[in-house]
């Protein structure tokens, strides 16, 4: 096997410990060598061999680091990614890519000139429900699709103490956090949208940051509804898709995040497999026969992201989670905020005409 990629992990919070470090631990293509922790040494307990650094400057100055993975708060994404690219490192940035589309544009230009890989960690492309939806649409089981509804709802009535995502700061709130997933999925499936209508709120009495959004986005003939809220104690379907031939309704959640949070490593034949209890319902017509039955979910695997990234860095394969995808997501977030402020539908201007799903 080729030499593994040496990783510098910027941050060691939940994002780093749940969504990234377990894959460096289990995938031989990667070798975790450095962790940025400003004051603590939590990484030493689990990875005693790593070098702890106290600044992004120290991390990117280390010639042994090939790849910098940025999991720190959203307002650091732009300066940290910029510093890493300028130091000649490959870079992974947690979603959201940046806070503004101008920052996203600058990083895209910088990466293109550097010859280094810049990628956004859109792990929700590699969950069970989304992979299954892709398969159903690719098979044409619903016919021409006319309506897609995606939810990322939670119940958290009280504020989470010391949570930067819930503070009144640029890039905070669930539109940047959860909306970045849903918007990316919609663009992946349907391409570049035409217009957007948004309702964005501070719904809970104590809320300092956005905790509710409802986006209505037109992709030509396809109407897309994206919704997230923090006061949904009893969730409905996670996805509802309706086409000329049939519908697909999906409840439940991909099991990977819960297992990673519980400390499981992403290994074994059962990894990412959903329980048949939450398989989606497919109601359609196939070969002139009406069927209404559970459709077996494909297994999810966040590891696919890092397998693809390895191919891009080592074998020069096309980057799947492109900087331009990240730009479009942030631009749509900006348009959604403006649409909600004006209480009107806005054209989706300023988006990049970039392919998805390649």
Closest by CA to 55, choosing from 118, 7, 10, 107, is 10
pLDDT at 346 (0 to 100): 98
Task: Give per-residue pLDDT as tens, 174-183.
Answer: 999 999 999 9
Residue-range domains of the chain with CATH: 5-121 (3.40.50.720), 128-300+332-347 (3.30.360.10)
Closest by alpha carbon to 152, among 251, 228, 225, 231? 228
Residue 2: per-residue pLDDT: 81
Residues in the chain: 358
HSE value, Cβ hemisphere, 13 Å, CA-based, for 175:
28
pLDDT along the chain (358 residues), means of 10: 91 96 98 95 93 98 98 97 98 98 98 96 98 98 98 92 84 96 98 98 95 98 98 97 98 97 96 97 96 98 98 97 98 98 98 88
**Structure confidence at residue 77 (pLDDT):** 98
Q: What is the 3-state secondary structure (H, E, C) of 76-130?
A: HHHHHHHHHHHCCCEEEEECCCCCCHHHHHHHHHHHHHHCCCEEEECHHHHCHHH
Specify the pTM: 0.96
Angle formed by the axes of helices 128-138 and 179-190, to 10°? Answer: 20
User: Is the Cβ–Cβ distance between 119 and 312 less than 8 Å?
Assistant: yes
The tally of CA atoms less than 13 A away on the side-chain side of residue 67 is 24
Q: Is 39 exposed, middle or buried (0-12, 13-18, 19+ CB in 10 A)?
A: exposed
């Amino acid at each position: 096997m080729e030499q593994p990629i040496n990783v510098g992990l910027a941050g060691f919070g939940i994002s780093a410990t749940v969504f990234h470090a377990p894959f460096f631990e289990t995938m031989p293509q990667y070798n975790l060598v450095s962790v940025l922790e400003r004051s603590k040494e939590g990484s030493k307990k689990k990875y005693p061999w790593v070098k702890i650094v106290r600044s992004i400057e120290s991390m990117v100055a280390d010639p042994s680091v090939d790849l910098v993975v940025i999991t720190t708060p959203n307002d650091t994404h732009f300066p940290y990614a910029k510093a890493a690219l300028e130091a000649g490192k490959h870079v992974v940035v947690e979603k959201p890519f940046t806070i503004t589309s101008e920052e996203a544009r600058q990083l895209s230009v910088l990466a293109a000139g550097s010859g280094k890989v810049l990628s956004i960690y859109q792990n929700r492309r590699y969950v069970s429900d989304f992979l299954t939806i892709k398969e159903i649409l690719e098979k044409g089981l619903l016919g021409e699709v006319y309506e897609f509804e995606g939810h990322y709802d939670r119940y958290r009535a009280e504020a989470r103490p010391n949570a930067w995502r819930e503070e009144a700061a640029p890039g905070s709130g669930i539109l940047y956090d959860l909306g970045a997933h849903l918007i990316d999925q919609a663009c992946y499936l349907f391409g570049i949208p035409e217009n957007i209508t948004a309702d964005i709120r501070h719904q809970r009495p104590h809320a300092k940051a956005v905790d509710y959004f409802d986006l209505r986005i037109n992709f030509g003939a396809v109407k897309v509804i994206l919704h997230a809220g923090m006061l949904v104690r009893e969730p409905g379907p996670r996805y509802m898709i309706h086409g000329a031939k049939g519908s697909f309704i999906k409840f439940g959640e991909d099991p990977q995040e819960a297992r990673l949070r519980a400390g499981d490593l992403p290994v074994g034949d059962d990894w990412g497999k959903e329980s048949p209890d939450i398989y989606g319902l497919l109601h359609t017509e196939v070969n002139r026969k009406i069927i209404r039955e559970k459709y077996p979910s494909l297994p999810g695997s966040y590891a696919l992201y890092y397998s693809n990234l390895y191919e891009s860095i080592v074998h020069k394969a096309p980057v799947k989670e492109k900087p331009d995808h990240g730009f479009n997501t942030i631009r749509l977030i900006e348009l959604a905020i403006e649409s909600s402020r004006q209480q009107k539908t806005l054209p989706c201007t300023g988006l990049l005409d970039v392919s998805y799903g390649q």
